Amino acid sequence: MNPGTYTVAVRALCEFGARQGDLDLRFTPSPSAQEGIEGHGKVTAKREVGYQREVRLEGDYQELHVKGRADGYDPERQQIEEIKTYRGEVSAIPANHTQLHWAQARVYAHLQCQQLALSEIHVALIYFNVDTQKETQLVEIETARSLSVFFSALCETFLAWAKQELAHRKERDLAYKQMAFPHPTFRTGQRELSEAIYKASNRGCALLAQAPTGIGKTIGSLFPMLKASAEHQIDKIFFLAAKTSGRQLALHAIETLQGNLPPRSLRSLELVAKTNACEFPDNACHGDSCPLAKGFYDRLPEARTAALQVPSLDQQQLRSVALAHQVCPYYLSTEMAKWCDVIVGDYNYYFDLNAMLYGLTVSNGWKTGLLVDEAHNLVARARAMYSAQLSERQFRAVRKQAPGVLKKSFDRLQRLWNQLEKNAESDYVVHATLPEKFCMALLTLCADMGSYCADHPTLVSPELQQFYFDALLFNRLCESFDDHSIVDVTLAGGDAILCIRNIVPAPFLKARFAATHTSTLFSATLSPWNYYADLLGMPDSTAWIDVDSPFSPEQLSVNLIDTISTRYADRRNSLMPIVALMAAQYQETPGNYLAFFSSFEYMDQVAGVFQERFPEIAVWTQTRRMDEEARRNFLANFTDASQGIGFAVLGGAFAEGIDLPGTRLIGAFIATLGLPQINPVNEQIRQRMQQLFGTGYDYTYLYPGIQKVVQAAGRVIRTTSDRGVIYLIDDRFGQQQIRRLLPAWWKLSDQSA
């Protein structure tokens, strides 16, 4: 790109300049992406020979370079076509959506006139109903001159903004190039990580970085990515975290970096869930219901300009700008995602089925740098994003109150559901393929519900709406069903749950990584790397780095207790030896400890015996379903001056993501290998992993288990001055294949209890 030229996609240009009035996200069930593609295909398939599809067009206006792809062009009729799919009535499409569609059609028409030197053109806006297959053509005849006037006016509304964007970009890149590391020195391992991230960007590849706690990964990843963005013309950096705490660390690191940069040269944005950002949770997102949606697009330009003056748009800052301009904070944040340099948010903003940041990346052709924090969580999170389930009990309840017009399709699905139940030979059944008749009936029901919801938006009950959304997701996953997922039926408590269960998210995530210029996934536990690369769909060119720990083996005494078995059958016999071991360690070095177990049941048994035998030692116990406050209270027991043992469950709220430096935590007892339970679902996963990768047991049980053990053990040493002890309690910890999965810097000593 010419540095003095600003490239903008047709859609983005129109969204900027041609939207007015209310935000209107009234319940309009839009077609899925697949239905949209099919709808476009059906419309263009009916056109005459010679019809041109997906016509690439571009043109310039002063510093602006505008480009995009028109849906179709009919040379015979000299007609440019913009095709939109919808459900319900054409007349129900909100006016500001239609305005936007016309603007896009006219811009393409102008670009086509320029390209073919036409003096006049037919501009067609075509609405295709995916349910009735009805095509509605709205056609106007425009002169090249009037289109040119329209295009110029639209570009003018954007030009001043584009100029400030160009100026910002120039200033920002210069500032990043000159920016010094914000601390006097890099910590051990931090430079290594930073260099690897920069090099990955230089090569335009992905990186899996196993980097231990305590090296300053957040700033150590953002700093090189900013440098790289200046050198490698990266448009946006996405920093994605699994939890709120990770987002907070990133925002804090960004503030530190901003301290080293000219004001406003680094624009950052925090994305939070709509439910957390919404000011009127009982209202709907349209002008008749929510005052912040009323006239949203009329007030957006000023709100947008004001927001740009705030360098760190965290949730609070963004909210105050939004409220000062009476616009919805959530939708202002989605707008600001287009104009900020670093965006901090949850994984789902880039990875899930309808991910906003991914959508913007593709539609705007952004060059992006992706940073994924605590990336060991991504496997489980992505599996959940690409799984869906339907409950027969919920379906039955919705069917009872469904409107008469839907009765036939509801009844048909109920019959097929009964059949699924009847044919189930046990409480858990895996189907080799999708139950075809059921899926077809669900598809029909969805189409009928879609039309009903579009025609009667005010009569749709929340239950029907919820079932409709669940069914739509299920349908979408049916479309992409393959050996990356299984389909199963679970019968429990009078309910039958039909589930599409994703096991390998790689096929879904592949395109997400491919769309970035560079991606780095980092975590203290990312080994073995092939497990993550295989399951997440990392590109073949992905680099791998295992960053040295800043901690010395002398800081941590790691004891393997291979005389105790924590297997289910041996648990009763393990209670006394574990209690004795814990008490002995505590009596030798009193202080704060955490003890981890495979289940609440096991934890309660050990805690019960411990309290009975050693009532003088303080014990804090994790309970099921602790809320945020209860968790805070649990952690508040661990002070610099306190002494006691916290009993917790491995893989739970206290086994990762908590920071108890110094004497707040001096040791951990891990009385489990962390292996996921052997149950019918996990056994199915094991078989599929075996079939796909030849590593059924390791990918299903061993690696996820040991990853949890290492995460939990990682709570003990948080700084270079910490000292601590870990007890790994189970005879299997002595096995070579398990020992080699433990961090290289640990010095293991075998002990008998």
- The residue ranges that bind ligand SF4 (CB under 6 A) are 23, 274, 278-280, 283, 285, 290, 292-293, 328, 330-331
How near is the Cβ of 329 to ligand SF4 at its closest, in Å? Answer: 7
What CA–CA distance (Å, rounded) separates 715 from 468?
43
The secondary element (H helix, E strand) that includes residue 556 is strand 556-561
Q: What Rg, from alpha-carbon coordinates, does the chain have?
A: 29
What CA–CA distance (Å, rounded) separates 120 from 143?
4
The secondary element (H helix, E strand) that includes residue 621 is strand 619-621
Q: What is the DSSP string of 214-275?
A: TS-HHHHHHHHHHHHHHHTT--EEEEEESSHHHHHHHHHHHHHHHTTS-TTSS-EEE---HH
Kindly report the number of other CB atoms within 10 A of residue 732's CB atom: 17
Tell me how far apart the terminal alpha carbons of the chain are, to the nearest angstrom.
Answer: 67
How near is the Cβ of 291 to ligand SF4 at its closest, in Å? Answer: 8
How near is the Cβ of 330 to ligand SF4 at its closest, in Å? Answer: 5
Which of 314/722 has CB closer to ligand SF4?
314
Which of 195/279 has CB closer to ligand SF4?
279
How near is the Cβ of 310 to ligand SF4 at its closest, in Å? Answer: 19
How near is the Cβ of 289 to ligand SF4 at its closest, in Å? Answer: 7
How near is the Cβ of 21 to ligand SF4 at its closest, in Å? Answer: 14
What CA–CA distance (Å, rounded) separates 574 from 150?
79
Which of 336/560 has CB closer to ligand SF4?
336
Which of 58/279 has CB closer to ligand SF4?
279
φ and ψ of 136, to 5 deg: -115, 120
How near is the Cβ of 314 to ligand SF4 at its closest, in Å? Answer: 18
Which two tokens mark 660? Answer: 């108890």
How near is the Cβ of 295 to ligand SF4 at its closest, in Å? Answer: 12
Which two tokens mark 393? Answer: 């009990």
The C-alpha angle 34, 37, 41, rounded to 5 degrees, equals: 135
| Residues 680-710 as b or e (16 or more Cβ within 10 Å = b) | ebeebbbebbeebeebbebbbbbbbbbbbbb
How near is the Cβ of 23 to ligand SF4 at its closest, in Å? Answer: 6
Which of 322/446 has CB closer to ligand SF4?
322
SS3 431: strand
Contact yes or no for 432/423 (Cβ under 8 A) = no
What CA–CA distance (Å, rounded) separates 271 from 329?
10
Which two tokens mark 439? Answer: 């899926």
Enumerate helices (H) and strands (E) in the chain, giving the number of each: 27, 25
Which two tokens mark 21? Answer: 């009035």
Which of 356/609 has CB closer to ligand SF4?
356
Which of 313/728 has CB closer to ligand SF4?
313
How near is the Cβ of 25 to ligand SF4 at its closest, in Å? Answer: 7
What CA–CA distance (Å, rounded) separates 611 from 616?
8
Which of 332/496 has CB closer to ligand SF4?
332
Which of 100/272 has CB closer to ligand SF4?
272
Kindly report the number of other CB atoms within 10 A of residue 744's CB atom: 10
Q: 500 has which bridge partners?
A: 388, 487
φ and ψ of 624, to 5 deg: -65, 145
Which of 185/275 has CB closer to ligand SF4?
275
Kindly report the number of other CB atoms within 10 A of residue 472's CB atom: 20
How near is the Cβ of 422 to ligand SF4 at its closest, in Å? Answer: 44
How near is the Cβ of 22 to ligand SF4 at its closest, in Å? Answer: 9
Which of 184/281 has CB closer to ligand SF4?
281
Which of 285/717 has CB closer to ligand SF4?
285
